[in-house]
Structures are given as structure tokens and as C-alpha cells.
Amino acid sequence: MPTDPVLVVHGGAWAIPDDMLDAHLNGVNNAVKAGWNALSKGGSALDAVEEAVVVMEDDETFDAGRGSFLNRDGKVQLDAFIMDGSTLRGGGVGCVERLRNPIRAARKILSESPHVYFVGEGAEGFAAEHGIPLCDNGELIIPREVERLRAFQAHATEQAPNLFAPAISHDTVGAVALDAEGNVAAATSTGGTLNKAPGRLGDSSLIGCGCYADNDSAAASLTGWGEPIMKLVLAKWSADRVLSGNAPEWASQEAMNYLKSRVNGHGGIILLDRRGRFGISHNTPRMAWAFQTKQRADSGIER
């Protein structure tokens, strides 16, 4: 049965400062435009979430693609995942250092590999074999992040900072979509946490944790402090709440309450079902989001 398409995106949940609000709003609005363009041309929900996330990976405002946080060794290591709700196929990459758009490689894995997940050099090799150009890691590093890491590490010698405080940027990006065929999809991409240990994986690229999609329940993408989100497999938990009868608006709020009460975690979520109902929730001071339907479009930092 034909349905009206819906697209929702997020660009991180944390204490986004006033001087960064415009950049975040512009970023999520540009992402929605790209994803909606794919949907309006009859593209799939997978196409829409991929194109939306690519725009945010290319935007240095966010912790994804070029401009991401640097790890302890001063390198960018990226993770991404994409999932198709109609088939439950997924594709993910972890700890890649030479891909400008890891979500492109994740999509190739979903569509052209019997596997679900590739990491490090194996992921980069798969991408190159499938026509995705590799770059030098230095091309992903920007001066702002070099200085941020330097300042953080200098401060860390004086006292142990809380890497996961809500005031520390969690600008992971993501998108969920419903297409005209009634299928949902989700995608999430991140540079991870500032000063993370090399090889650390967060929730974003792990199926059911920071990203999940199932036509029978919902599509979800999360952002925030990865370790608590992983412990709760929160994307799948949230989708299951929809399956059991909760509207996505309520299920998304429940997820954030559960994250806080169970493991003292913080973050944000976007959740969308096949009926076109969606929820946008966070338990951080602010979250960048935007959505588009046939009837209306909106974006914001607080909701």
C-alpha cells in the first residue's frame, strides 16, 4: 500500500552552545533537503537516509566524516551503520581512517556483501574494491579538532575530566526514513568520542544499539554517550516498544528515561514507524533535529 514519505534527521544531543546553533540548524536542514530529494524522486528509505547522512558527514560542524573528534593518537577513526527495515539487512564499518563518507561503505556492505560488518583495513579494502575512493587520514583532520585535543589532553594532566559529560560534544549524526512503498530505514555515523582509545567502538555502528530498522516495529537512530546506549541495546529496545503498541513519540521519551534511570546515560533518539508516526527525544540540554513530511517541515535545537 502506498504511503506518504517521512524523513527525520538528528545532528547530535548535548549542551550545544549558542554560537553553534545556526551551524547545527543549517546542517540538519541541508541533510533533510538531500534525503527528501531522494524520496521525492521515488527513491527508497535507504537512499534517503544515506544521502542525508552524507551531507552531515561532509559538514565540519558535526562529529562525523571530516572534522570529527580526534582519538588519543590524534587520528580520525570513523564508525557508521545503515539498516533496511524490509529485509533486516544491515551494513556497518568501524574504526575506518581513510573514508570521507563511511556511510557509503556501509551501504555497499548492505547491498553487496553477505556480511554485516567490516572494521579497520578490511573495511577500507572492501570500500576500495567497490569503487569508493580512499583518502589520507590527514584530509579528515581540521585545525579546530587538533586544538581541541591539545587543550583536552593538557587539562587531563591536571585532573581527570569527564569525557562523557553532557557539555562534551556528542555530534553523532543520523537519519530515519519511511518511503512510498512503506519501508523504513535508519543510518547513523560518528567520529566517536574525543580522545578515545584507538580501536574504541561506540554504539553508533552496532546493530540494535545506535541504529536499527524493522518494518514490523520502527527505525531508530541515536546519539550521545555510547557505552550506556550499548549496554541497553537501546535502538532495538525502542523499536520493540513500538511493536508492543507504544507510539514512537512516547517510546522515544521512554527510551531516554530508561537510559537515565537504568545506567545514568544521556543522549537523544529519533524513532519512526511505518504509519509515519515519529518521536524526537533527548535528555541532554539540546539536540539538533529536522524532519520533512508531505504536509510540513520543521527543525530545531530543543523539543
Among residues 104, 125, 4, 124, the alpha carbon closest in space to that of 46 is found at 104
The more confidently predicted of residues 202 and 252 is 252
The pLDDT of residue 223 is 95
DSSP 282: E
Side-chain-side CA neighbours of residue 206 (13 Å): 18
Active-site position among 61, 87, 157, 172? 172
Active-site annotation holds for 188: no
Q: What share of the chain is helix, strand, coil (3-state, %, to 5)?
A: 35, 25, 40
pLDDT of residue 102: 98
pLDDT confidence tier of residue 97, bands split at 50, 70 and 90: very high
Task: Look up the pTM and report it.
Answer: 0.95
pLDDT value, residue 41: 92
Average pLDDT for 44-66 = 97
Mean per-residue pLDDT, 22-33: 98
Mean pLDDT value of segment 126-140:
98
Is 197 exposed, middle or buried (CB count within 10 Å of its CB: 0-12, 13-18, 19+)? Answer: exposed
Which domains occur in the chain, in start order?
Answer: 6-300 (3.60.20.30)
* C-alpha span between 132 and 127 (Å, rounded): 5
For 184-221, how does the pLDDT look when each residue is reduced to its tens digit (9 = 90+)? 999 999 999 999 999 999 999 999 999 999 999 999 99
Please calculate the CA angle 89-98-150 and round it to the nearest 5 degrees.
120
Q: What pLDDT band is residue 131 in, cutting at 50, 70 and 90? A: very high
| pLDDT beyond 60 at 167 | no
pLDDT of residue 162: 56
- Say what the pLDDT of residue 155 is: 82
pLDDT for the residue numbered 161: 52
Examine the pLDDT at 165 and tell me if it is beyond 60.
Answer: no
Question: What average pLDDT is seen over the chain?
Answer: 94
Query: Is pLDDT of 85 > 90?
Result: yes
Q: How many other C-beta atoms lie within 10 A of the C-beta of residue 240? A: 18
Q: Is the pLDDT of residue 303 over 70?
A: no
pLDDT exceeds cutoff 70 at 166: no
